[in-house]
Structure 1
Amino acid sequence: MKKLVEKEWNNYNVSEIFSKIQRGKRLKKADHVPGAVPYVSSTANNNGVDSFIEAVHGTRIFNDCISLANSGSVGTAFYEPFKFVASDHVTSLRRKNTSKESYLFLSAMVEKQGVNFNFNREINDSRIKKMQLMLPVDDSGKPDYDYMEQYASEMRGGMLMRYRTYVARQLAQLEYKQIATLDKKEWKEFRLGKLFEISRPKARNKDHYEMGDIPFVASGATNNGVMKCCKPHMDEQLDAGNCITVSPVDGSSFYQPIDFLGRGGAGSSILMLRNNNLNLFRGEFMARMVQQTCSKYSYGHMGNKDSIKRERIMLPVNAAGEPDYEYMEQYAKNMMLKKYRQYLEYLKGNIN
């Protein structure tokens, strides 16, 4: 198969490629009825799925298409293989007789156009009609869908194989041990200020950094709080890993295993919690407990360094009444083993 740079490419209007272009319908949050149908909005995570609702009368339902975010995470595009309800911030792009692999290729090409839009220049219906895609062409000068399908299939297969190798390696490093269930352990309340040294990063803004390989951690609720990977400034000192970061905006808490650049300098900058007893497994367990306590934070009631010191969390304890770090570590290992095995079974069914 030819490499991408070896193929001839051409520009096409979106309307030349997709036979049906239709926007979702407005559905206020207050009108959502909890259910089993994905609700796709303008988020850049989880395939655009914001929640799961009932497809009540008046909603607009799509499936087997590309969802394009018109606002919010403007320009984000996902292939949606399932039936979903689309918000009015999403446009469905559908093409007849198109394979999953071809859709995956096309969604990447659609998303590349996102650089032309932002919060101040959203994607409206007229702009979609003018949007152009660069696509590989065949010998007759038409879009080469066979090539797109083959390329996406090979890329996906390679990624799945690498994931399976990674999971198998993690399974080999973890040992399952029988321990008491959570409800059989004794628990005790601890003040965060007594358990952790709490600090903020220095003032930083992700927009002031070039792309690199160091995580920039901010107050996001997903992806471990990582907004992007950056190149540090000359002689800049990183924030040390092996700590828990907390968002004062919504209490989202994550264990950070490696050194990172933390967002600081403003009210919504992250808080860093350090404890000499932390490691990956203990950190994951304790981050979950911290988040349960701090989830009450919001834009109208943000946390800060002083308030978080007063917060209390429940932790399992040993015979001396101290935090049982060994138990937390093994519990996290057992849970990871369970999830890795489930993931490996899923991968086996998705690798030809």
Structure 2
Amino acid sequence: MNKLVKISDVFDIKYGNSLELINLEQCKSTDLHSIPFISRTEKNNGVSSFVFERIDIDSNPSHTLSVAVGGSVLSTFYQPLPYYTGFHVLVLYPKREMNVAEMLFYAKCISSNKYKYNYGRQANKTLKDILIPENPSINLIDRLSIYKTEIEQKLKQQPLITEKFDLNKSNWKSFLISDLFQITGSKTTPKQDLEDIGKGKYPFVTTQATNNGVDNFYDEYTEEGNILTIDSAVIGYCSYQPFKFSASDHVEKLIPKFKMNKYHAMFLVTILNLEQYRYNYGRKASQTRLKEISIKLPSRDEEPDFKFMENYIKSINYSKVL
């Protein structure tokens, strides 16, 4: 059996920057001199924003682990780029040479201890004493490395079609959402009921606007897949659900009245998420409101041009991994 040792035996543990996002200038990830800002969130690899790098603030180095010791305690992520951190985020430096697969393995090991903590119990004093394997098995690391390489190769693949399509909106027409979809509610399933049933392969879709709306996976479903969902509680976030799923409260369903494939869905989700400016906490994306809204789409002979939508998505980068 692999020997267990303390985290402090494998990593040097240091405090991050303890910065406040409000005091930094936010930007896009593609902007020159942008840098990830890592907070205590458990989503998006810990990245809550991108900010402009400042010459008076040293960044944390790449190829380290960020660990939230408050908030979403023990949310641990491998950081491939230099980054800043907010409060209560520690940085783990490997004491020996490790490849990416090993770092990802240890990130998962540390995150697996989340159950020991909650918002009233932070990990800033106890992180160093958490037990992790001294060395991951060679077989496991080899498998993780192969999987990582396969993912990287997929992301380097050419689009499904090489022809480029111009988004000339001059010939786009307005269509009622209700003419394209049957708009209805989903069955609300309490999360505790799903926890009692146990983990499985079916997504639990919520009103969150990250991770495709998926909070977790359980061995239960109430809804069929290949539909769109829209949150009617917050900002009207739309996502495509290809698989059977269960749902929390305020998750509306858009069931296509046409033969929809995943390429149509990706195009329509993008268009529908451009409508979020219409919604806020006082104005929800209710079924009644959705039935009254029109969206502009490529058209042909006064009908939605689904073939164009499909080909456009197939022509963009990473379409082969959809």
State the TM-score, normalizing by the size of structure 1. Answer: 0.77
**SS state of the match for residue 308, structure 2?**
helix
Summarize deviations over 1:129-181 as a string: whole Å, max 9, x none. 4x42132xxxxxxx34xxx384564022331465479789x98xx96374751
Aligned length: 309
Q: Could you say if the C-alpha distance between residues 152 and 91 of structure 1 is closer, same or farther in structure 2, counting changes exceeding 3 Å? A: farther
**SS state of the match for residue 105, structure 1?**
helix
**CA positional deviation for 1:259:** 1.8
**SS state of the match for residue 9, structure 2?**
helix
Q: Which residue of 2 aligns with 1:275?
A: 256
Q: Which residue of 2 aligns with 1:120?
A: 120
**CA positional deviation for 1:62:** 0.8
- Report the residue type matching 1:26 in the other structure: L
Q: Which residue of 2 aligns with 1:324?
A: 305
**CA positional deviation for 1:296:** 4.2
**Are the counterparts in 2 of residues 245 and 254 from structure 1 also a CA contact under 8 Å?**
yes
2:42 to 38, 41, 44: 44
Find the aligned partners of 1:58 and 1:164 in 2 and give their Cα distance: 35
Q: Which residue of 2 aligns with 1:96?
A: 95
**CA positional deviation for 1:244:** 0.7
* Identity %, equivalent residues: 25
* Structure with larger RCO (C-alpha < 8 A, sep 6+): 2
Find the aligned partners of 1:45 and 1:19 in 2 and give their Cα distance: 24
Q: Which residue of 2 aligns with 1:140?
A: none
Find the aligned partners of 2:172 and 2:67 in 1 and give their Cα distance: 47
- Report the residue type matching 1:247 in the other structure: D
1:310 to 292, 297, 300: 292
Rg larger in 1 or in 2?
1
Find the aligned partners of 1:208 and 1:60 in 2 and give their Cα distance: 46
**Are the counterparts in 2 of residues 215 and 230 from structure 1 also a CA contact under 8 Å?**
yes
Q: Which residue of 1 aligns with 2:14?
A: 21
Question: Is the aligned partner of 1:218 residue 2:206?
Answer: yes
Find the aligned partners of 1:60 and 1:165 in 2 and give their Cα distance: 33
2:274 to 292, 302, 308: 292
- Report the residue type matching 1:37 in the other structure: I
Q: Which residue of 1 aligns with 2:30?
A: none
- Structure 1 portions without partners, runs of 5+: 1-6, 136-142, 344-352
- Structure 2 portions without partners, runs of 5+: 28-32
Q: Could you say if the C-alpha distance between residues 89 and 208 of structure 1 is closer, same or farther in structure 2, counting changes exceeding 3 Å? A: farther
Q: Which residue of 2 aligns with 1:347?
A: none
Find the aligned partners of 2:257 and 2:210 in 1 and give their Cα distance: 26
Find the aligned partners of 1:79 and 1:113 in 2 and give their Cα distance: 16
- Report the residue type matching 1:65 in the other structure: T
Q: Which residue of 1 aligns with 2:182?
A: 197
Which stretch of structure 1 is more off in the superposition, 94-103 or 303-312?
A: 94-103
Q: Which residue of 2 aligns with 1:239?
A: 223
- Report the residue type matching 1:186 in the other structure: N
**CA positional deviation for 1:186:** 0.6
Summarize deviations over 1:318-345 as a string: whole Å, max 9, x none. 12x221122212222223xx3257x8xx
In terms of fraction of residues, the more helix-rich structure is 1
Structure 1 residue ranges, 4+ long, deviating more than 6 angstroms after superposition: 164-168
**Are the counterparts in 1 of residues 187 and 222 from structure 2 also a CA contact under 8 Å?**
no
